[in-house]
Amino acid sequence: MARFLMGEYDVIVVGAGHAGCEAALASARMGKKTLILSINLEAVAMMACNPSIGGTGKGHLVREIDALGGEMGINIDKTFIQSKMLNTAKGPAVHSLRAQADKNRYHEEMKKTLEEQENLDLKQGEVVDLIIEDGKACGVVLKTNSVYRSKAVILATGTFLKGKIFIGESVFDSGPNGLAPSVELGDNLRKYGLPMRRFKTGTPARALGKSLDYTKMTEQPGDEKIVPFSFLNDDLKKNQISCWLTYTNEETHTVIRKNFHRSALFGGQIEGVGPRYCPSIEDKVNRFADKKRHQLFIEPEGLTTDEMYIQGMSSSLPEDVQEQFYKTIPGLENLKIVRPAYAIEYDCIDPLDLKLNLENRSIENLFCAGQFNGSSGYEEAAAQGLMAGINAVLKIDKKNPFILDRSEAYIGVLIDDLVTKGTNEPYRIMTSRAEYRLVLRQDNADLRLTERSYGLGLASKSRYERFLQKKKIVELEKDRLTKKMVSPEEINPLLEELGSTPVKNKISLMELMKRPQVTYESLKKIDDSRPELSDHARAQLEVQIKYEGYISKQEQQIKRFKKLEDKKLDSSFDYDKVDGLRIEARQKLNQFKPISLGQASRISGVSPADINVLLIHLEKMRRKKS
């Protein structure tokens, strides 16, 4: 059948999930004519699993996406129905914002943003093949035989690629949420020699809210003070919807154990590897046999639907078993399931086949992002989509790639982990993965990344000026607090009230704020010359002062880390010529072609001894040149 050229673009994005949306918006905002294709326009920014954005570690990613000019933070601020700051009992490094979304509105608002974006076309169409010429990606072919050509292609296929649904013994081809899968593209990607693999994820049932008994559950309200995701928003006021907490019990576990043999997970039908940190309920009952209960949250899916998401209860058991075990749970005795739980298996690429700019190693100008790269989660996907979009534009313009290292952003940790270390299961970001998390806090993402974003042309002038103003205000206020001295007579009554040790001599407000009992707000009683600060600025000021010593130590660690990162390696370097390198190290280094000695040190199979050999070799080369 004849093919027809339907258009030419700078960048084509395949898939309009959370990765695809950020990739397309970044490309278009950087001035490139961009096309984003979705197998179904109902899949644009679809929340196929949990109706929420953020969470531990993930909230950091959303703040970084926002600081870099991405859309996720802005969109959830428009559409959230509950907001909560997690881990507030711990230090600020692990504070993480999480918001329940009205999932339909989230989709609608993101779709509207794509439709209104200059330089961007959104179209429904199933991509079945790539156009590869001279080892370069030059466009895509649709199922209708329409052809669109481009200078770069970004694959962000999510869980659609050769998607297969499992509900007990029932197995059928499908994308998430009952949408059609993309089968032909998966076969054709293998044809090009891309190292494909099968991963699995799952989602719980959705129940009708009016069929639940909330008197048997514990209410989980949102925070009284709403903290926005986007640095563009200072104050958000909204009537929030509660979530609800309940637990499984021995009866629940007994029903599940009796039906292990009917689970697709244990029956052997599922080939793909599932996420370790988000197991199905049958996997939890099997692995944690000593636990008498597992918690689950009942979360509303939106304001215009009565569907409730049963978080913590994903499953691939048959529908009749689902009905049985859900009804053993307090508050769910009479539940009506409107969408059964299921597991979904899909194709993704081995991320070790990617460069740090998310370009494929074997096919030039082909960029990859999101769950296609072996990650899990909306936030991880969006972060990669943003970076892939940026780097596709930079590649077209023959500019250096935009790469964030592990000391600069959680995004840097995420991408470095995927493409340098690889993953054998759906990858999830966590605060524990970041070595420099005291510096990479969610509250300072704008201070870390806005300037970089403005240089790329993503952050608007007004956002940049707002950032500079906040930075200046914080610096001026720190200076004022350092200079402002108070006498014991002025401060001791307040210190006594706060349960803090009184002072004998004059002391600066800066020194006082380093005390755990003293906050910027509490000093208001004796400090009448303070300026009016935004919530963002006040939070930033407080953290910088209270954790100054710890932050300083971590910055010294980062300097040592940077020494290896700054030792760049040539991509054409032949490691077989380095005497003293072990055979495995030579093979791995020649395969991955690391861009720096730091990245080389994180490659599996390259030991510290190999790095020392490389250091000596590089020093010899430097002396020889000089």
**Could you read off the pLDDT of 287-298 as tens digits, one per residue?**
898 999 999 999
Reply yes or no on whether the pLDDT at 626 is more than 80.
no
Looking at the DSSP assignment, which residues form a beta bridge with residue 101? 80
Quick one: pLDDT at residue 264?
75
Residue 282 and residue 264: Cα distance in Å, rounded?
10
If asked whether residues 476 and 425 sit together in one domain, one would say no
Q: Is residue 561 part of a domain?
A: no
Q: Residue 1 above 90 pLDDT?
A: no
- In contact, 296 and 248? CB cutoff 8 Å: yes
Which residues participate in the annotated binding site for NAD(+)? Answer: 274-288
| Same-domain pairing of 367 and 450 | yes
Contact 22, 389 (CB under 8 A): yes
Q: Give me the mean pLDDT over the 3-12 stretch.
A: 96
Is position 251 within any domain? yes
Chain segment 177-223, per-residue pLDDT in tens: 999 999 999 999 999 999 999 999 999 999 999 999 999 999 999 99
Of 75-89, 519-533, 606-620, the range with the highest mean pLDDT is: 75-89
- Long-range contacts of 174-177, Cβ-Cβ distance < 8 Å, separation of 24 or more: 174/344, 175/39, 175/43, 175/344, 176/43, 176/46, 176/48, 176/49, 176/203, 176/344, 177/43, 177/46, 177/48
Q: Do 435 and 502 have their domain in common?
A: no
Residue 267 has pLDDT above 70, yes or no: no
Determine the longest span between alpha carbons in the chain, in angstroms: 90
| Amino acid (one-letter) located at 303 | L
Residues comprising the binding site?
A: 15-20, 127, 182, 274-288, 371
Range 146-165 average pLDDT: 97
Instruction: Please indicate, yes or no, whether residues 357 and 415 belong to a single structural domain of this protein.
Output: yes
**How far apart, in whole angstroms, are the C-alpha atoms of residue 58 and residue 410?**
9
> Predicted confidence band at 268 (pLDDT cuts at 50, 70, 90)?
low
Domain boundary among 428, 456, 484: 456
Distance separating alpha carbons of residues 420 and 418, to the nearest angstrom: 6
Range scoring the smallest mean pLDDT among 276-285, 445-454, 462-471: 276-285
- DSSP reduced 3-state for 71: coil
CATH code, 284 = 2.40.30.260
Task: Give residue 372's pLDDT band: very low, low, confident or very high (50, 70, 90).
Answer: very high
299, 245: one domain: yes
Q: Indicate the residue type of 310.
A: I
Same-domain status, 330 and 422: no
CATH of the domain at 402: 3.50.50.60
Of the residues 320, 345, 370, the one at which a domain ends: 345
Q: What is the 3-state secondary structure (H, E, C) of 146-190?
A: EEEEEEEEEECCCCCECCEEEECCEEEECCHHHCCCECHHHHHHH
Residue 78 domain flag? yes
pLDDT at 279: 83
On whether both 353 and 340 belong to a single domain, the answer is no
Length of the chain: 626
Q: What residues form the annotated binding site for FAD?
A: 15-20, 127, 182, 371
Separation CA 555–CA 407 (nearest Å)? 9
461 belongs to a structural domain: no
Both 84 and 212 in one domain: the answer is: no
Give the domain range for residue 513. 472-553
Q: What is the mean pLDDT of residues 490-503?
A: 93
Query: What are the pLDDT digits (tens) for 36-93?
Result: 999 999 999 999 999 999 999 999 999 999 999 999 999 999 999 999 999 988 888 8
Q: Is the pLDDT reported for residue 257 higher than 80?
A: yes
More confident residue, 239 or 276: 239
Q: Indicate whether 304 and 160 sit together in one domain.
A: no
> Are residues 358 and 487 both part of a single domain?
no
Across residues 422-448, what is the average pLDDT? 94
Confidence of residue 618 (pLDDT cuts 50, 70, 90): confident
**What are the DSSP E strand ranges found in 63-126?**
80-86, 96-101, 120-124
User: Looking up tokens 């409107």, which residue turns up?
Assistant: 338
Are 505 and 590 in a shared domain? no
The tally of domains found in the chain comes to 4
Q: Dig out the tokens for 309 from the structure.
A: 């998401």
Same domain? 171 vs 248: no
Q: Which of the four pLDDT bands, split at 50, 70 and 90, describes residue 572?
A: confident
562 vs 451, 543, 556, CA distance in Å?
A: 20, 24, 10
240 in a structural domain: yes
**Domain end point (choices 432, 456, 480):** 456
Looking at the domain assignment, is residue 464 inside a domain?
A: no
